Amino acid sequence: MPLIDSGKLVDDAWVRLGDDDALPAADVPVIVSLARFHKDRASLAGRNGGLGVWLASNQHPKDIADHLADFALVALDFPKFRDGRGFTIARELREHLGYRGVIRATGHTLPDQYLFLVRCGVTQVEIPEGRDPALWAHALTEIDTAYQVSVAGPLSMARLARHKTTEHAA
Amino acid sequence: MSPTAAARQIDPPANGLPSHAGIYHYDQVDRDFLKQRVEQFRRQVARRLAGELTEDEFKPLRLMNGLYLQLHAYMLRVAVPYGVLTSRQVRQFGRIARQYDKGFGHFTTRQNLQFNWIKLVDVPAILDLLAEVDLHAIQTSGNCIRNVTSDQFAGVASDEVVDPRHYAEVLRQWSTLHPEFSFLPRKFKIAITGSSADRAAICIHDVGLIAKRDADGNVGFEVYVGGGLGRTPFIAKKLRDWLPEDQLIAYLEAVLRVYNAYGRRDNIYKARIKILVHELGIDAFRNEVEAEFARMPVAEYRLEPTIIDGIRARFASQPYEALEPISGVLARARLEDQAFNRWVRTNVAAHRQPGYAIATITLKPAGGIPGDVSADQMDAIADLADHYSFGEIRVTHEQNLVLAHVRQDDLPALWKALSAIGFGEANSGLITDIIACPGLDYCALANARSIPLAQRISERFADLDRQHHIGELKIKISGCINACGHHHVGHIGILGVDKKGVEAYQLTLGGSAAEVGAIGDIMGPALSADETVDAIESVVGVYLEQRQDGERFLDTLARIGHTPFKDKVYASH
Amino acid sequence: MARVTDAPKVVTANRLQDGAVVWLTAAGDWSTRIADAQVQADAAGAEAALGIARASAARQEVVEPYAVDVAVEAAGPRPLKTREWIRAAGPSIDAIPTAA
């Protein structure tokens, strides 16, 4: 599937491995389910290629909290674009768990959600075949005001903080 | 220039907003944002028309911008942040109503305005017109944080402890296009009040906030969660007795995170936070929230007092005159004109400023459509607001309007002018001050019509002498179980149901959305529209027969129980 | 009472551009008047008409087409359910406020 990073189409070196698929060459980076990670930890750890984990939308970041250092990538599933759990999971990975690797959104998301994803800490998005990648690039430019704290931007009250007055009247 | 001095001239004169209306006055950041949001939606509409977005994909996007597809047309729900408008904004509603609708608009139970006859292709142009006057339709629908509602008497009520508008505005900005909470399991409604009397119905909201002060005068919030009507009504439960002001955003983020992560997504009817709170229990839910809150980088989310100051400074204050607390003009007019006196009794409330009063304009003329206002009436009300109330108009959750700063001396003239446009009815809080959702005449979800029933009830009880004799009695009508007409909390609630393809109505008694909220009890089998009007007559009859000195309807009901009412209503069945 | 599913049917939708209620005609296009709707006597006919309607929806002409049970009267088809006759006829109330 086409992959968007920072608004641009990029090559995807990662291979999504089914739970029963054989391991590819040792330098190919793979994304595995959490179940497979627990089952094959030993053989997965010894490879040169990067290791990524795929979380279903009902799996919790705390399930991987102890192993985050093992993962160069965390893929979050959006089974349908209306299922917004991934936004909270991504933000939690960044904010609470201090995760600094790649967070990839997989499944069904819309370009209209891309800016939100980025602001919650997602770095890459898989997009459906045949969709115009320019929509994702454009999505990053549509709205440049945000009123909330964002893990992608300066950690402050963002635009809400512009109301700060120099003196507190009370 | 001190912040206080700046408050008097915060608007660029070219904008032309009446500078004394008690709204948050936009700055350039807000205006730039709104323009970008309109352009974003314009492109979304274009993509839908070009087939680049499916209906399934477009629907949540249009809902998040207040656009529904109803029975006969699209409906655009415009946000009225915490219910306060300027006269210029109301005139713009009139312009849109004439140019793009059928010449009227409909005020809703969530302090919003709906246009019922909108074309999809016109929506971007309408949003441009709204943006001209700092209005929008952002998050008036969709599974996101909806526009925040509040007390229609905010800032003027004599019983107010904290002005909730400033915090409502903080919440408006914080919730606008929130990156994490725009695809929640279901909609999320926040209401805030700052008075001892709850006019914002906080007990039936996903989160209800009561702003209060501690012994040292510091502001904090009592936090309620999990209230709501619909299929499974719940009165909200207390989550926190005291939340310090500066933790408001952090704590709400924690609540929303728990909800977004654990709220049910398998069943649309069980997806509201009230179900999560009910299934976990309030104590377990509180533990989740407090755990999340405890590990948040709270400093990042701190709502600094200076932010509140800055926002407060963008609310213009009203240049009240120094007046005698008691108006001789008003006293004489009340003596001379019984009809006017009656209107003052029901529709005028005490103002904290000596010599001023709060006037409610009930949008409930006998036989009228609750909440509907024509474009001409909008213009007339805007003129009256300019003349009598610093150019400010408020919307109540009971589908009425309020002029919040009227000199008592001006009340007689205001009442005459309102009567001339059909809105001088002395019925605020009375049996014809009916809340009704649009129902099956417009709404794609409804099972039965609401408006014609409201019209018939208000015609039946049109006699004002009789209405005043009956006293406070709140009828609320919903055309389906989604309960947009708040029937569960009506003193008499009416729910439209579908009985084998035929409309029928189920009555409930004893609901209340006041400080002590209560869900009404179902009386018995559903009735036809004709029978429903008669049943209300019977209920009122029993009440008048049984009531003792000074009892309101709810008091009598509480004393004698439901049985006498049921017996009377179903005697002929 | 006849089972609802046995009733004759017409196919309806809302027009994408303006949301107007439209009815599928015998010519396979859409009319805003239910009198112009083609009545389908049986399930096969209704299914075929829905196929035409769904193709129209795929061309971004209409939204969410579906079939409606009707009684065939002299003036034309009349929907059996309240919801559908209100959709066909417009709101049952005077949509313009009476006062002023």
Q: How confident is the model at residue B14 (pLDDT cuts 50, 70, 90)?
A: very low
> What is the identity of the amino acid at B130?
L
| Percent of chain B clearing pLDDT 70 (strictly above) | 96
Q: Do A143 and B36 touch (CB under 8 A)?
A: yes
Q: Which of A83, A88, A89 sits opposite B265 (nearest CB)?
A: A83
| Percent of chain C clearing pLDDT 70 (strictly above) | 88
Ramachandran region of residue B226, left (φ > 0), alpha (ψ -120 to 50) or beta? left
d(CA A72, CA A29): 9
- pLDDT, tens only, B165-193: 999 999 999 999 999 999 999 999 999 99
CA nearest neighbour of B507 among B448, B444, B425:
B448
Q: What's the whole-number mean pLDDT along residues B139-164?
A: 94
Q: Which of C19, C81, C95 sits opposite B119 (nearest CB)?
A: C19
Q: What's the whole-number mean pLDDT along residues B487-508?
A: 94
At residue B87, φ and ψ (nearest 5 deg) are: -60, -35
Task: Write down the pLDDT at residue B572.
Answer: 66
**pLDDT of residue A92 exceeding 50:** yes
Which chains contact B through at least 3 pairs of Cβ atoms less than 8 Å apart? A, C
Per the CB < 8 A criterion, the answer to whether B425 and B399 are in contact is no
Task: Write down the pLDDT at residue A145.
Answer: 81
Q: Are C and A close enough to touch, i.e. 3+ CB pairs under 8 angstroms?
A: no
Per the CB < 8 A criterion, the answer to whether B17 and B27 are in contact is no
CA nearest neighbour of B166 among B328, B269, B292, B313:
B313
Q: Which domain holds residue C47?
A: 4-88
Among B108-117, B309-318, B558-567, the least confident range? B309-318
Is the Cα torsion angle B11, B14, B15, B16 positive or negative in sign? Answer: positive
Q: How confident is the model at residue A165 (pLDDT cuts 50, 70, 90)?
A: low
Residues in chain C: 100
Q: Which residues of A touch B265 (CB under 8 A)?
A: 83, 85
B295 min Cα distance to partner chain A (Å): 7
Number of structural domains chain C divides into: 1
In three-state form (DSSP H/G/I as H, E/B as E, the rest C), the secondary structure along A92-153 is HHHHCCCCCCEEEEEECCCHHHHHHHHHCCCCEEECCCCCCCHHHHHHHHHCCCCCCCCCCC
**pLDDT of residue B517 exceeding 90:** no
Give, rounded to a whole angstrom, the gap between the first and last alpha carbons of chain B.
Answer: 74
**pLDDT of residue A166 exceeding 70:** no
Task: Write down the pLDDT at residue B1.
Answer: 32
Torsion of CA B318, B347, B111, B448, to 10 degrees: -170
Residue whose token pair is 């027009």: C15
How many CB atoms within 10 Å of residue C48?
Answer: 13
Task: Write down the pLDDT at residue C5.
Answer: 63
Q: Do B257 and A92 touch (CB under 8 A)?
A: yes
Q: Do C100 and B448 touch (CB under 8 A)?
A: no
With DSSP H G I counted as helix, E B as strand and the rest as coil, what are the percentages for chain C, rounded to 5? 30, 30, 40
B443 touches chain C (CB under 8 A): no
Task: Write down the pLDDT at residue A161.
Answer: 64
d(CA B394, CA B401): 5
Same fold, B328-420 and B435-569: no
CATH of domain B435-569: 3.30.413.10
Which chains contact A through at least 3 pairs of Cβ atoms less than 8 Å apart? B
CA nearest neighbour of B390 among B22, B16, B133:
B22
| Percent of chain B clearing pLDDT 90 (strictly above) | 88
Chain A residue nearest residue B31, CA to CA: A145
Q: How confident is the model at residue C3 (pLDDT cuts 50, 70, 90)?
A: very low
Q: Which residues of C touch B399 (CB under 8 A)?
A: none
Q: How confident is the model at residue B18 (pLDDT cuts 50, 70, 90)?
A: very low
Residues pairing with B257 in the sheet:
none
B149-313 CATH pick, 2.20.25.90, 3.40.462.40, 3.90.1150.10, 3.30.413.10: 3.30.413.10
- pLDDT, tens only, B524-565: 999 999 999 999 999 999 999 999 999 999 999 999 999 999
Copy the structure tokens of residue B508. 């409930």
**pLDDT of residue B334 exceeding 80:** yes
Task: Write down the pLDDT at residue B377.
Answer: 97
Chain A residue nearest residue B183, CA to CA: A84
Q: What's the whole-number mean pLDDT along residues B450-471?
A: 97
In three-state form (DSSP H/G/I as H, E/B as E, the rest C), the secondary structure along B313-346 is HCECCCCCCCCCCCCHHHHHHHHHCHHHHHHHHH
Whether C95 is covered by a domain: the verdict is no
Q: Do B304 and A81 touch (CB under 8 A)?
A: no
Which of C59-70 are b and which e, b meaning 16 or more Cβ less than 10 Å from the residue's Cβ? ebbbbebebbbb
**Apex C46 CA angle, C43 and C48, nearest 5:** 110
Task: Write down the pLDDT at residue A158.
Answer: 53
Per the CB < 8 A criterion, the answer to whether C35 and C10 are in contact is no
Q: Do B440 and C97 touch (CB under 8 A)?
A: no
A73 min Cα distance to partner chain B (Å): 20
d(CA B90, CA B378): 6
CATH C-level class of B10-132: alpha beta
Q: How would DSSP label each residue in B44-78? A: HHHHHHTTSS-HHHHHHHHHTTTEEE-SSSEEEEE
CA nearest neighbour of B182 among B224, B228, B146:
B146
Task: Write down the pLDDT at residue A159.
Answer: 58
Per the CB < 8 A criterion, the answer to whether B227 and B208 are in contact is yes
CA nearest neighbour of B225 among B199, B179, B263, B195:
B263
Q: Do B49 and C98 touch (CB under 8 A)?
A: no
Task: Report which DSSP code applies to C34.
Answer: G
> What domains can be seen in chain A, in order of their start residue?
3-142 (3.20.20.70)
Q: Do B71 and C82 touch (CB under 8 A)?
A: no
Task: Write down the pLDDT at residue C25.
Answer: 98
Task: Write down the pLDDT at residue C98.
Answer: 45
Torsion of CA B573, C3, C5, C7, to 10 degrees: -100
How far is the CA of C78 from the CAs of B448, C7, C22, in angstroms? 18, 11, 14
H or E stretch covering B553: helix B553-560
Q: What's the whole-number mean pLDDT along residues B54-75?
A: 96
A52 min Cα distance to partner chain B (Å): 22
Delimit the domains of chain B by residue range: 10-132, 149-313, 328-420, 435-569
Task: Write down the pLDDT at residue A54.
Answer: 97
Whether C66 is covered by a domain: the verdict is yes
Q: What's the whole-number mean pLDDT along residues B222-246?
A: 95
Q: Do A148 and B179 touch (CB under 8 A)?
A: yes
B500 min Cα distance to partner chain C (Å): 9
- pLDDT, tens only, C32-81: 999 999 999 999 999 999 999 999 999 999 999 999 999 999 989 999 99
**pLDDT of residue B484 exceeding 60:** yes
C74 min Cα distance to partner chain B (Å): 23
The beta strand positions in C2-100, using DSSP E, are: 9-15, 21-24, 30-31, 62-73, 76-79
Task: Write down the pLDDT at residue C1.
Answer: 37
- Calculate the average pLDDT of chain C: 90
Residues pairing with B351 in the sheet:
B157
**pLDDT of residue B2 exceeding 60:** no
Per the CB < 8 A criterion, the answer to whether B194 and B153 are in contact is no
d(CA B134, CA B23): 11
Whether C100 is covered by a domain: the verdict is no
CATH of domain B328-420: 3.90.480.20
Task: Write down the pLDDT at residue B5.
Answer: 34
Whether C63 is covered by a domain: the verdict is yes
Q: How confident is the model at residue B387 (pLDDT cuts 50, 70, 90)?
A: very high
Q: How confident is the model at residue B475 (pLDDT cuts 50, 70, 90)?
A: very high
B373 touches chain C (CB under 8 A): yes
